[in-house]
Each structure stands twice: as C-alpha cells, then as structure tokens.
Structure 1
Amino acid sequence: MKKISFLIFSISIFSLSLSSAQTKKTTPATPKAFPAEVARPKLVVGLVVDQMRWDYLYRYYNRYTNGGFKRLINEGFSVENTFIPYTPTYTACGHTCIYTGSVPAVHGIIGNDWYDPEAKKSVYCTEDSSVSTVGSTPSSEGNMSPKNMLTTTITDELRLATNFRGKVIGISLKDRGSILPAGHAANAAYWYQGSTGNWITSTYYMKEVPGWIADYNKLKLANKFYAKNWETLYPINTYVNSTADEKAYEGKQSTFPHQLTQNIDKNFDAIRSTPYGNTITLDLAKLAILSEDLGQDNITDFLAVSCSSTDYIGHAYGPNSIEAEDTYLRLDKDFEEFFNYLDKKVGKGNYTVFLTADHGAAHVPGFMQENKMPSGVVSDRDIANKLNAYLNDKFKVNNVVLRSMNNQIIFDHDKTDKGDVSFDVIKSAAVEFLKRLDGFQNAVDIAKISQATLQEIQKKMITNGYNARRSGDIYYVLQPNWFNGGSTGTTHGNWNPYDSHIPLVFMGWGVKPGATNKMHYMTDIAPTLAALLHIQTPNGTVGEPITEITNK
C-alpha cells in the first residue's frame, strides 16, 4: 500500500505537486473489470463556480491564460444561453438542480434555508441532527447530510450504474456545495470548517477522515496564504474592466493590498473571502484524485468540486470591483494548473469536465445609481413588519405573517385557519398591499398562480421553485436590480438574467468543440451527462439532453 510523503507535500504547498506523492485508499477497493463494456470516460469532473455570471467568460477573456477559461471555451463546447428555470436563485437550489436535473418543486431544496410549516421551524438545507462531525472537534458545522434532498443525483445514478464500484467525492468550502452534488450514495463529501481550518465530513459518510485529509489539515494552508496578503496579480492600473479600487458601496475593507497577516492562527474563516479559498479547494481536489486513485481504471469515477470564494467576494464587493476581476484572473490560473494535472494524472482525452455556476449576481445598487440606472434594496424584516401592521389594522389579526424570506410571505396557519376572516381574503389583501411597496413589481398568491397576470417566464420560474410542503403562501417579484440586502455589496435570488444566466461549458471525452446559442437550462446538465455516460437520468429529472453535445 502507498503512503503520502508528507515532506514533499509540505514543500509543494502552493502548487501541490501531487504527482510525486503517494497515499492509501480510504477503503479497500472492489476489483474493477477491464475493459469496460460501455465506452465511458475514466473520470467526470464537475466544476461549479459559485456566483459566476455568464458574462465573466468574456468580460476578462483577453486577460485569461490559454490553459484555463480559454481552454474550456476553445477546446470544449459552450452552451451560451443556459438559464436557471426556477426562482429563487440561491446556492443550494443551484447545486441541487445541476446534479439532479430537477427543480425545487421536485427535489425539495427550495433555498439555503426555509421555514418548515409542518415542523414550525427554520431548516438549513443540509442540516441533519442524526449525524456528527468527523475530522475535527464536535460542532454543528459537521452535522450535515443530503437527507433533505428528495431525489437522486447524476452522481447517485453513476454509483447505481457501476454497482457502486465507481467512486464519487464532493469538495467545497461550503457544506452545501459539497454534499448536494455528491448525492446520497457518495463515498465522501468534504467541506471547510472555518473555526479550525480543517476539512471535515460527517458520520453520514465515515467514522474518521482518511490519512490524506488528516495530513492536509495539519498544514493549515490558510496561514501560508495569509502571510502573502492579497495584492493584485497584475499592476492595479491595468484593471480597466473594473471600477476604482475603493467605493463606498463595497463592503469590508476594499483597498488593495488586502492585509491578511493578522488572521494567522486566529481567523481561519477569512480565507473564504480571498481568491486563495479557491486555490486550496482545487489543491484538495488534486489530492483527492491522487489519494483515491480517481480515473485510474475503466470504471468511471466522479469528482464534484465547487469553488465558493467567488461568491463570498462577489457578495462583499460586487461584479464591477477590482476584487472580482482579480479573483477570476487568479481562478483562471488555478484552473490551468488543475487541467494540466488532469492531463498528467488521468490523461488528456480520458476525462470529461464541465463548468457551470449555481447562480449569477446583480450589480451593486450603489454602482447602478452612480451610473444613473435604476436599482434599490428591500429588507425582509421591513416587509414582514409593514405587512403585519397593515393586516392587523385591516382585519384585527395579530402578527399573522411569520416571516418574509426567499421572496415569499409565510403566514401563521394556526392563526389564519382559526380566525374570523378567511385565509383567501387575507392573502388577497396582502397581495394588493405588497404591489404598492417601493421596489415591488408584482405579488401573487402561489395557490392561484395560474390566474396571475405575470409574464410566462416569471410564472414558470415561480412554479418550478414552489414545493407544496416547504414553500410559502405568497411570492413577490421585485423590480429589476432590486433585491433583499444592505447598503453595500450585492446578492442574488431573483428571476432576472443577471441572476439566472449562467455559463455552461463541457470539455474532454465525448465532447466535440463548438458552441450553441440555442436556449438551454440548468436542468439539462444532468441528462446530458447521463446520455454521455449511457446511464439512467436522476429520478426527478425534468430536463433534456443537450443534443448539440451528445450527437456524434
């Protein structure tokens, strides 16, 4: 059996020259058959770039290396008009949709968080009190599993198709970015614990982390990057695709260089909001390929990777910041190294990779207003308070609105079912009130959405995002570039193209170079992979294969 040379690994801290390292498998492998009966790639790699707007493929194109994003576009097949078919457009929903080929109405992940009207409590998408942390001291950060996801994933279907001989591993700074793509039957899912700087998992997957994870955790890579601070990759005056270095509407300290040394051994979580969070994620992905022998035989394995730092940075600084541009230029170089590693370890032509995003992002309202374009923010708390005050005054019902979240109004059904005024009357009054609020374009009783005077695209996306047992009672639509948020930074979640138009590029085994401008949807990714792999689609799939890719 093989074991990692820890010294070599430590010396190669930033590039992780993993080809010289050796390790031990986490579990004894069942012998795999040769040759494969069906032609398939040795490895599928899913890359989800959190909060990557479609236009980032081209906004910084002239500054990208030939081996990163440009390689994807020029050697792969780009589906230029890929859209999210539901709303709200949040991280957990997006990762789940990509891998299930389904929508929240079916797969059940309706947000990062939601209010469960049956349990009468808030729910986090991957929370699971029946499991505990593995790889660190006990904490709620590890009490996670895919149990709230109601359907299978393409990764589950690969496990089924290979009689569980093909390996599936998920990796992301975020638990939801690792767990939901990896599916129910994954061999492992690993995510980052900000309180310790460890990569952890839960007892859902294993009793203890493998040696290669334990050794990697000892390195405390965040400290190494903190010592470098965050300076621009190129001279700052060359960042002409961005606004000035510091703007009042950017959150946090927004002047380069960003000082990070104060975080050493104190704040491991801060790595998330730097480009280095993506670097350590992809380095761990390389180490997983090596340590688990992914792609080393003819039974297909699957590595699901989500780069999350783009989301943290996007939320803080917005799409037009130098921070965002520098992050994508650095991610481009990280991808170049990652693709070169795949070429060397798995073999060019032996793997299939796809890149997409879980959602986009709106422009920062301050930026829009600075440039004379409409924009604004609303507050969930203010919406709920104003609506409650109105309904209390009109119907003498006390605090009948539980909360506003995920662009939905959630009522206290214990009160609406027992009051003197019918629930339909209350909802009707609430809808009319919401329509008059600043920043609101429309509102609709979800139970009567077929009768609503909405654009068909809005109606379809709201319907796809509505789960009868988990969603709220009223859905509201904000004006373009209005969102729930604060006075700085940005967010996402709405139906508009800036949130719903995402990149989608396939490259490698089974993929011919090219592009299409035909409309496709996030739900088409999983069935396209199923067609390439000749396996069953996930059991809640509503999408279709992208035949421009799969037709030979």
Structure 2
Amino acid sequence: MMRVLTALLAATSMAAASPASAQAADQPDLIITLSVDQLSSDLYAEYAPYFGGGMKRIGQGTTFINGHQAQMATETCPGHSTLLTGSYPARTGIIANGWLDLDLGRANKQVYCAEDVNATLAEGERYRVSATHLLVPTLGERMKAANPASRNVAVAGKDRSAVMMGGQKPDQRWFWTSKGWTTDVDSEVPAAVRAATQTTLDLVRKGAPALTYPNYCAAKSRAIAIKGGDQVVGNGRLEIAPGNMRNFQASPAYDGAVLALAAALIQEMGLGKGDATDLISIGLSATDYVGHSYGDNGGEMCLQMFGLDQNLDGFFRALDGWGIDYAVVLSSDHGVMDVPERLKEKGVAQAQWLDPSLSSEQIGAKVANALGLAGTIISGSAPGDVHLNPQIPENLRGKVLKAAKKAYEKHPQVEAVFTSEELAALPIPGGDPTAWTLAQRARASFHVDRSGDLVVIAKQYVQPIDDPGMGYVATHGSPWDYDRRVPIIFWRPGGMGNVRPDAVSTVDIMPTLAAQIGLAVEGEIDGKCLSGVPGISCN
C-alpha cells in the first residue's frame, strides 16, 4: 500500500492543509469509520496477537469483541446500513443486497439495494447508483445538518458500502468499478481521484507476483478439495494475473488502493483541518472477496489479514505525518461460514452445502402440483425471502401460503419459517443480541414493503451455495453467530487497549460517535451510546 500511496500523493499537487481550527479538547477533528467487509469476531481474535502494524494500533483502543450485526440479514448492504445510522434493516429499509418487487414496472423485478429504479439508464449501464432506498439518515448527514461546515466523505471498494455509510448527498463518494474510481455525487472531481484511477488501473494491468507466506500463514497453507471436485482452495498466494480484476479485488492490493485514495482525499480536502469535525467512511472489501473465493481459514485469508495490517499501518503513518487529530471506529458488515470440507475436518459434522431442492422453483412446483395449480406460484430465494405470485387469486393466497410454509418446514435443511404477518406483529427487538430468538433476528431485518411473504431460515452450518463453481466457495447471510459476530473497536492514538466482553450491536456505533462529538441524536433509532469508551460520555 505504501508504494501505491507514495505514487498517488506524488502524482497530485495538493496544497498544504490549513491550520487546525479550535475544537473542544476531547473532540477529534476527523472521525474515520473503517468497515472491513467479512471480518468476523473469530477471524479478528485469531490474528490480533500477530498483528504488528495498523491493526495492532487499532487494537490499543476499546474492543467490543462480542459485537453483533444482530439481524438475520448479514449481507454487505444491510450490514453497512447499520454502521452509521443507529438502526436495524427493519428501519433502514435495506433488508438485503437485493430484494424482489414483483409489482415493479420492468422485466427485471430484482431491486439492487444501491440503485435508483427510476433512472433512465445509458447504453451498457446496468444500474444507476443511488442512496434512495436508505430510509434513515447517516451520521454524516446528521453532522452536516448540525453544522454545514462538516464534511462527509465515503470511499469503498464496493458502491453499496460507500452508499450505505455515506448516505444522502455526501460531499464526496467514490467506489471502484472496472472503469476506475466512480461516483454518484455531482461534484468536481478531485485531483486525487484522477491520479488514483490511473495508478490503480496501471496496477491491475501490470499484475503482481504471488505473496510470500509469513511463518504463521505457511502453517495454514493446505489444499482443500471443494465438493469432491477439481476446485482447490487453501494454498493460494493471491497473485494478480495481468489485467485480472477479480484477482486484484481478492488481494491486499485492493484495500491498499482504497486507503491510498482515502488518504489522498484527506490531504487534498484538508479533512480534519476545517471549522468542524469531518467524517470519512472507508469500506475495505478485499477480505470479503478473499473469503468468498477461498474461505476464511486457509493460507489466502492469512495473507489478507497480514496485508490489511500493513496497509492500515501505512495509512495511519501518513495521517500522523500530517498532524491530524483523528479518532477511528472499526467494525464489519458480517462474518462468514467457511467451506464445509474444512469445517468437517474441525469437527463440525453438520456442515454441508445447500440442497438444490430447497430452491423456490422446486418447492413451488411441488406445492403447485399438490394444489392443482399451474405456473410459478412463489419466487425468491431460500434461505431468505420468498414471495407469493401477486396473480394468485385472493381466495387462494392463504391456502398457498400455508402449503408453501409447510413444504419449507419439512425440508431437512430448514430450521424455521416465518410469515410476514408473524414478523410484522413483533416489535423491532432491542437489548442483548445474544438473547434474541430466531424470530427476533428475522424481525430486525423485516420491512413490510420490501420483505417476502415468507422468511426461510436454514439450519446452522448449511452453506447457502448449492454449486460452488466460478470461484465462489463460501458466503454469509444467516442469523447464526458465525455471520453475526463482528468486532467493534473505538481507538484514538495513544489508547492503552481494553477488551470488553459486552454483547453489543453495530447500531450502537452511531450514537457513540455522536456522543464523542457532542452531537444530539434526533429521532427514533435502535442503538445506544456505549459506556466505558475513554473520552466518550454517554450522559
């Protein structure tokens, strides 16, 4: 990352930042929100003793190791929507990375969480990035409403990460696409972005050699055959073949590029040097790409964890050199379930791949045949949201719903099935997330206008992939703790380190940061200020 950062800063002629303005002594001039996509608490805890760079520095803060993405929807978009809004997906409206809207006036009924469904698309444009589906304000929006001098900036490897952390109308928002750094915000393009696009595209074009295993990683490098086939994971070296964008994204270089652009924007915009506290949200996506491609317990993930540590070290060193008074919160959008073959070797006998017979097509065909109906009667994905065909006559809908629920409940891989009426009758849960029932976890993700008629939950350690082809061997999205538990760490340079066992939630991050800068939180939210973080008063 340091090589990319040095080249990027040299390529941009940025003026020196203005002198720091007067702020309250206990308020930082810059808040940095770091989301490490797919960083579970277990993954963080394993590597924390071996970090020596940026992750070690962050570990000197207050670590809530028992943090939770408490809801059932443990995916990128809903997870990121909780980080800076103080609310669960039931309130943010971001129930999944995508959901069905069978009444949508277009052939494709799938709604992407970060798209404007009403946009007129240009030729070749798959969707128009937008925060329109996010129904509640983010911390950055609240800061700007309280003081327009605050700047709200988001940079991420994924558009949905940047959108859900930045919210509506940020000052700058940049995310990576095949064409380079891209934005949905109508603003002048900073010089840092132009330089970063060229630098990063050059890196992808040239490629990079295989990484060298540190001693700890060498012991984890072992080939695992997936589903008895030819696909092998566990001993990869994360090399980047020239021009291979997927290789780039599943490597530490991807996070390095994101952090390099974030650092360059901080310097060019003078973030942390203005008349009010600024916020930059940074979405680091490489861990997610590595986890999906190889699982989270082999040599590849080990290389990624040490690479993340080094990349953050370079980032913080740059900020320290600029004399910025900053505070950091680090968390994640979700965890992951490792590949079943490796889990079985560890004694998790019930680990298995998803049975294709759980698909809405197969379940729907069985139900339709039993009821003497023709055509598609249900759509969606199980595990997840299942929708009844809106063309089913009203007098038959109850019968179809009951039969579909019963069919799912009989499947040996299904743990629970809830109807929309059952979930809507429950309050949005609060309190200790470890004590939540499955129904409460599902309710925290349920939105009456977007969720399905049925919500299907698979049993623990069912990997929700039926065909691990095309380099996608592990995923997330369940209400089980391997997907829910994520670290939440508050750190300012000079911290001494404090590990807290409290069961807390990512919705607690926003009100805690708001207390740190003396910002009153207006309106109803689900989170609470976390007491016991040095320098933050929840009174």
**What is the TM-score with the length of structure 1 in the denominator?**
0.85
2:322 aligned partner, one-letter code: K
Q: Say whether residues 1:480 and 2:468 are aligned partners.
A: no
Tell me the secondary structure at the aligned position of residue 387 of structure 2: strand
From 78, 83, 87, the equivalent of 1:98 is 83
Matches within 5 A, 1:142-153: 143-153=128-138
Match of 1:359 in 2: 334
Aligned length: 516
Deviation of 1:113 after TM superposition, in Å, equals 0.6
Between the aligned partners of 2:38 and 2:76, the Cα distance in structure 1 is 8
Between the aligned partners of 1:510 and 1:312, the Cα distance in structure 2 is 32
Tell me the secondary structure at the aligned position of residue 503 of structure 2: strand
Deviation of 1:451 after TM superposition, in Å, equals 8.8
Deviation of 1:199 after TM superposition, in Å, equals 0.4
Post-superposition CA distance 1:375-415 (Å, at most 9, x none): 12226785212221222122222221022256121111221
User: Structure 1 residues 273 and 439, CA, compared in 2 at 3 Å: closer, same or farther?
Assistant: same
Deviation of 1:368 after TM superposition, in Å, equals 2.2
From 103, 113, 116, the equivalent of 1:125 is 113
From 192, 196, 205, the equivalent of 1:216 is 196
Tell me the secondary structure at the aligned position of residue 190 of structure 1: strand
Tell me the secondary structure at the aligned position of residue 355 of structure 1: strand
Match of 1:401 in 2: 378
Tell me the secondary structure at the aligned position of residue 413 of structure 1: coil
From 358, 383, 389, the equivalent of 2:365 is 389
Match of 1:528 in 2: 512
From 89, 94, 97, the equivalent of 1:109 is 94
Matches within 5 A, 1:366-377: 366-372=341-347, 373-377=349-353
From 155, 174, 177, the equivalent of 1:171 is 155
Between the aligned partners of 2:269 and 2:120, the Cα distance in structure 1 is 23
Post-superposition CA distance 1:433-479 (Å, at most 9, x none): 11111311121223124899xx9421111111000000001111211
User: Structure 1 residues 253 and 538, CA, compared in 2 at 3 Å: closer, same or farther?
Assistant: farther
Deviation of 1:128 after TM superposition, in Å, equals 1.9
1:437 aligned partner, one-letter code: H
Match of 2:447 in 1: 467
Q: Say whether residues 1:276 and 2:253 are aligned partners.
A: yes
Matches within 5 A, 1:55-454: 55-65=42-52, 67-73=53-59, 75-119=60-104, 121-128=109-116, 140=125, 143-162=128-147, 164-194=148-178, 196=179, 198-202=180-184, 205-206=185-186, 208-221=188-201, 223=203, 226-234=206-214, 238-240=217-219, 242=220, 244-245=222-223, 247-248=225-226, 255-261=235-241, 263-264=242-243, 267-347=244-324, 350-372=325-347, 373-378=349-354, 382-398=358-374, 399-404=376-381, 407-417=384-394, 420-421=395-396, 423-449=397-423
User: Structure 1 residues 433 and 62, CA, compared in 2 at 3 Å: closer, same or farther?
Assistant: same
| Aligned residues of 1:41 and 1:352 also touching (Cα < 8 A) | yes
| Aligned residues of 2:222 and 2:298 also touching (Cα < 8 A) | yes
Tell me whether 16-25 or 368-377 shows the greater mean CA deviation. Answer: 16-25
Between the aligned partners of 1:464 and 1:95, the Cα distance in structure 2 is 14
Post-superposition CA distance 1:88-138 (Å, at most 9, x none): 2110001111111111111101111111244262100111256699xxx97
Between the aligned partners of 1:45 and 1:337, the Cα distance in structure 2 is 15
Tell me the secondary structure at the aligned position of residue 479 of structure 2: coil
Tell me the secondary structure at the aligned position of residue 424 of structure 1: helix
| Aligned residues of 2:114 and 2:133 also touching (Cα < 8 A) | yes
Between the aligned partners of 1:238 and 1:510, the Cα distance in structure 2 is 30
Post-superposition CA distance 1:455-513 (Å, at most 9, x none): 94211111110000000011112111113214441100011110000011110179774
Tell me whether 107-116 or 53-62 shows the greater mean CA deviation. Answer: 53-62
Deviation of 1:360 after TM superposition, in Å, equals 0.1
Listed as ranges, the gaps of 5+ residues in structure 1 are 1-8
Post-superposition CA distance 1:241-260 (Å, at most 9, x none): x3514543596776544553
Between the aligned partners of 1:188 and 1:100, the Cα distance in structure 2 is 18
User: Structure 1 residues 415 and 430, CA, compared in 2 at 3 Å: closer, same or farther?
Assistant: same
Match of 1:542 in 2: 526
Deviation of 1:18 after TM superposition, in Å, equals 6.7
Between the aligned partners of 1:100 and 1:150, the Cα distance in structure 2 is 10
Match of 1:14 in 2: 4
From 475, 480, 485, the equivalent of 1:491 is 475
1:285 aligned partner, one-letter code: A
User: Structure 1 residues 385 and 118, CA, compared in 2 at 3 Å: closer, same or farther?
Assistant: closer
User: Structure 1 residues 539 and 303, CA, compared in 2 at 3 Å: closer, same or farther?
Assistant: same
Listed as ranges, the gaps of 5+ residues in structure 2 are 427-434
Q: CA RMSD in A?
A: 3.1
1:184 aligned partner, one-letter code: Q
Tell me the secondary structure at the aligned position of residue 415 of structure 1: coil
| Aligned residues of 1:245 and 1:322 also touching (Cα < 8 A) | no
Between the aligned partners of 1:527 and 1:258, the Cα distance in structure 2 is 38
From 485, 506, 509, the equivalent of 1:501 is 485
| Aligned residues of 1:91 and 1:112 also touching (Cα < 8 A) | yes
Tell me whether 304-313 or 222-231 shows the greater mean CA deviation. Answer: 222-231
Identity of aligned residues (%): 22
User: Structure 1 residues 337 and 138, CA, compared in 2 at 3 Å: closer, same or farther?
Assistant: farther
Deviation of 1:217 after TM superposition, in Å, equals 1.7
Between the aligned partners of 2:382 and 2:363, the Cα distance in structure 1 is 13
| Aligned residues of 1:524 and 1:543 also touching (Cα < 8 A) | yes
1:358 aligned partner, one-letter code: D
Tell me whether 438-447 or 100-109 shows the greater mean CA deviation. Answer: 438-447
Between the aligned partners of 1:337 and 1:467, the Cα distance in structure 2 is 41
Tell me the secondary structure at the aligned position of residue 65 of structure 2: strand
Between the aligned partners of 2:366 and 2:520, the Cα distance in structure 1 is 51
Post-superposition CA distance 1:187-244 (Å, at most 9, x none): 01101112x3x10112xx1255222211222224453685422323425x8533x351
User: Structure 1 residues 142 and 284, CA, compared in 2 at 3 Å: closer, same or farther?
Assistant: farther
| Aligned residues of 1:243 and 1:320 also touching (Cα < 8 A) | no
Match of 1:3 in 2: none
